[in-house]
Chain A
């Protein structure tokens, strides 16, 4: 699922595990599927994965970053591979050498989901209402509620070509992450795009988009902000 990134799950796991075991001691045997399944079924219904809870989840994780990072450090390489493969199934994670490092950067970028204007970027990005780059570069202030918006980015040849990038769309006003996932692009081109529209539709406000390389440090490529003044229902 786009919004709930795999590494958030690390944080969720951390929060849920101690709160549960405090009230009901459960012996978890990692090699016992039945116990695991039972455990999952018990808690699946309590796990907040809806977008309206994202901001709360981000805040909780932010307040517990030291512990979350400690949990990441404690995970074995095998576990880490497994989590990431599950979270980002269908994507090639082989270029990520240090998955613990990658995980920490992911959580960091998830909890602090506003663009930092002073952060140096090697490329540039802009959001447009259509797929073709160029022409009218200005995003209309009136956007249809269910319209796809296209975040174009240009590496300017300054980042290694890669068929995958990581992208984050967030609400600048609330800081809420709307979309945070790897995406496939054309490696032979410097200009690419990722389009998005929220399931509940656009709302008036300021939004941020940020692109990252799929590497250990999740190095930023480009970022941009845009404003929707009016939403056509």
Chain B
């Protein structure tokens, strides 16, 4: 096949593959693009691209961003357990009394963030683990599953 024909086919195929590529996702990702937003008297610092996109988007969801003047409010509310072994985390943050330990969680536009311990502020939770799916299942030794979820 001559090169001209290959290139021609390539043009079409490239579009095809790219179209196909756009249909799925290989994983979840984010990056440290930082941006500030001011709404009224509140200024938010969004420390990731997804957080910035959510805060600057139509919904103005700045839940994953920090206030420029950080709050010192400690998260003390206990997460609800509407079903046995299913703990519902809130956007304000709450404390999870799990079988094996105590964790503090918060739900933001980035997902579910968890950090071991209590008496923590929202800002301190940035040191926690992030689950972009918004939920986590922990299987205990007795095969019982504990679910921590934003939904």
The chain A residues found within 8 Å of chain B, CB to CB, are 1-4, 6, 8-10, 12-14, 16-18, 20-22, 28, 30, 36, 39-40, 43-44, 47, 49-51, 70-71, 74-75, 79, 83, 86-87, 129-132, 135, 144, 146-148, 163, 178-179, 181, 183-186, 189, 192-199, 232-233
Query: Is the CB–CB distance between B17 and A194 below 8 Å?
Result: no
Beyond A47-B16, A129-B129, A163-B33, is A13–B9 a contact (Cβ under 8 Å)?
yes
Q: How far is the CA of A233 from the CA of B140 in the complex (A)?
A: 11
Query: Is the CB–CB distance between A40 and B16 below 8 Å?
Result: yes
Q: How far is the CA of A171 from the CA of B29 in the complex (A)?
A: 16
B38 CB–A CB distance under 8 Å: no
Residue of A nearest to B29 (CB): A196
Which residues of A have CB within 8 Å of B133? Answer: 146
Expressed in whole angstroms, the minimum distance between the Cβ of A70 and any Cβ of chain B is 7
Expressed in whole angstroms, the minimum distance between the Cβ of A96 and any Cβ of chain B is 17
Query: Is the CB–CB distance between A28 and B9 below 8 Å?
Result: yes
Query: Is the CB–CB distance between B14 and A199 below 8 Å?
Result: no
Q: How far is the CA of A14 from the CA of B8 in the complex (A)?
A: 10
Chain B contact surface mostly:
mixed
B1 CB–A CB distance under 8 Å: yes
Query: Is the CB–CB distance between A131 and B48 below 8 Å?
Result: yes
Q: Which one of B18-26, B70-78, B97-105 contacts A? A: B18-26
Q: How far is the CA of A197 from the CA of B27 in the complex (A)?
A: 6
Beyond A21-B9, A148-B131, A195-B130, is A86–B29 a contact (Cβ under 8 Å)?
no
B92 CB–A CB distance under 8 Å: no
Beyond A13-B14, A186-B32, A194-B32, is A179–B129 a contact (Cβ under 8 Å)?
no
Which residues of A have CB within 8 Å of B6? Answer: 13-14, 17-18, 71, 74
Expressed in whole angstroms, the minimum distance between the Cβ of B45 and any Cβ of chain A is 11
Beyond A71-B6, A148-B28, is A186–B48 a contact (Cβ under 8 Å)?
no
Query: Which among B1, B29, B34, B137 is the interface contact of A194 at CB below 8 angstroms?
Result: B29
Expressed in whole angstroms, the minimum distance between the Cβ of A31 and any Cβ of chain B is 11
Expressed in whole angstroms, the minimum distance between the Cβ of B27 and any Cβ of chain A is 4
Report the 10 A-B pairs with minimum CB-CB distance, sorted nearest first.
Answer: A17-B9, A13-B13, A3-B26, A13-B10, A1-B21, A184-B33, A183-B31, A9-B17, A40-B16, A192-B32
Query: Is the CB–CB distance between B126 and A43 below 8 Å?
Result: no
Flag B35-56 by CB within 8 Å of A: 1 or 0 each. 0000000000001110000000
Which residues of A have CB within 8 Å of B132? Answer: 146, 148, 197
Expressed in whole angstroms, the minimum distance between the Cβ of B9 and any Cβ of chain A is 3
Chain A contact surface mostly:
mixed
Query: Is the CB–CB distance between A44 and B12 below 8 Å?
Result: no
B151 CB–A CB distance under 8 Å: no
Which residues of B have CB within 8 Å of A2? Answer: 25-27, 29
B30 CB–A CB distance under 8 Å: yes
B59 CB–A CB distance under 8 Å: no
Which residues of A have CB within 8 Å of B5? Answer: 17, 21, 28
Q: How far is the CA of A147 from the CA of B30 in the complex (A)?
A: 13
Query: Is the CB–CB distance between A146 and B10 below 8 Å?
Result: no
Beyond A2-B29, A178-B26, A186-B32, is A131–B13 a contact (Cβ under 8 Å)?
no
Which residues of A have CB within 8 Å of B7? Answer: 71, 74-75, 79
Query: Which among A49, A75, A189, A195 is the interface contact of B20 at CB below 8 angstroms?
Result: A49
